[in-house]
Structure 1
Amino acid sequence: MPQVEIKIGGRSFEVACQEGEEQFLMTAAAMLDVEASSLSTQIGRMPESRMLLMAGLLLADRTAGLEDKVREAEGRLAQAQAQLEAAGSGDVAPDRVEVEVPVVPAQTIEALQAIAAEAEALAETVEAKAG
């Protein structure tokens, strides 16, 4: 199992991953690092677990917003498809149908979901140690 060294919030971590997933891990770590670095700039030095938890929660929040946008786009797409089907059956005479659908790459969604899962695991660990 490959070991990958990642940096998050100026701290180094050695993380194991499945063969071939190294780039996925590096991408996810880079996203988490952006959030952690931003937090460190705003708040200052904080315990590692708190930094990772807060950065993960920020990414989870962003993921939830993106998922909402994807659902909204899917709804608009379904409406447009219905219009096209109706137009194809002769019920409606279309002049032109335009649909703008934002696309979120599947890899990005998977990375954010993985980060959200890690944040939840970290939160449970922090709660267990605090309680």
Structure 2
Amino acid sequence: MAEVEFTIGHKEYSLGTQDGEEKQLQRAAEILDGEARQIIEQAGRMPEPRLLLLAGLMLADRFASMEARAEKAERLANRLQSNPTRVEVPVIPSDLKEAMAELAARAESLAERLEDQQNG
């Protein structure tokens, strides 16, 4: 079992974790510490239990919001998969196609003449 040391707000902690899960615990602690530091900046120093409660509630609120957004996106993806929207591809008018082909042919002709003049 590995020991991970981290700081939340103004207090240091050490917690045991399964081998290989150290980075995950460290990242979670960093996120909780970020919330705690915001609270301390706004409200000042406070008792540890209250700080942890407020930081946990802020994270839970953010999680609930992200969960709702993910569910909405999933419903939209499911709806699009079951009923794909018609996709229209713009059609190039035939006279424009012909004009572009004519321009391309002229450009090639000019390039060949220029090459012939440089070589000859």
TM-score above 0.5:
yes
Deviation at 1:11, TM superposition (A): 1.6
Long gaps (5+) in structure 1 = 88-93, 97-131
In 2, Cα distance between equivalents of 1:25 and 1:70 = 24
- The aligned counterpart of 2:29 is 29
In structure 1, the partner of 2:46 is 46
Structure 1 runs of 4+ aligned residues shifted over 6 Å read none
Local SS of the residue matching 2:82: helix
Give CA-to-partner distance per residue, 1:51-81, whole Å, 9 cap, x none.
1111011000100000000000000001110
1:95 CA drift (Å): 1.7
Q: TM-score, normalised by structure 1?
A: 0.64
- Residue matched to 1:16: 16
The amino acid across from 2:30 in the alignment is A
Q: State the distance in 2 between where 1:32 and 1:48 align.
A: 13
Query: Over aligned residue pairs, what C-alpha RMSD do you find?
Result: 1.3
CA distance, structure 1, for counterparts of residue 16 and residue 50 of structure 2 = 22
Paired with 2:26 and 2:66, the residues of 1 have a C-alpha distance of 21
**Aligned equivalents of 2:83 and 2:15: distance in 1?**
49
Count of residues paired in the alignment: 88
Which runs of structure 2 are paired with 1:33-112 in the superposition (5 Å)?
A: 33-84=33-84, 94-95=86-87
Give the drift of 1:32: 0.3
The alpha carbon displacement at 1:19 in A equals 1.0
Shift of residue 10, structure 1, vs aligned partner: 2.6
Gaps of 5+ in 2: 89-120
Q: With a CA cutoff of 8 Å and minimum separation of 6, indicate the structure with the bigger relative contact order.
A: 1
Distance 1:3 1:21 in 2: 10
Quote the sequence identity (%).
42
When Rg is computed on C-alpha atoms for both structures, the one with the higher figure is: 2
TM-score by length of structure 2 reads: 0.70
CA distance in 2, matches of 1:25, 1:38: 20
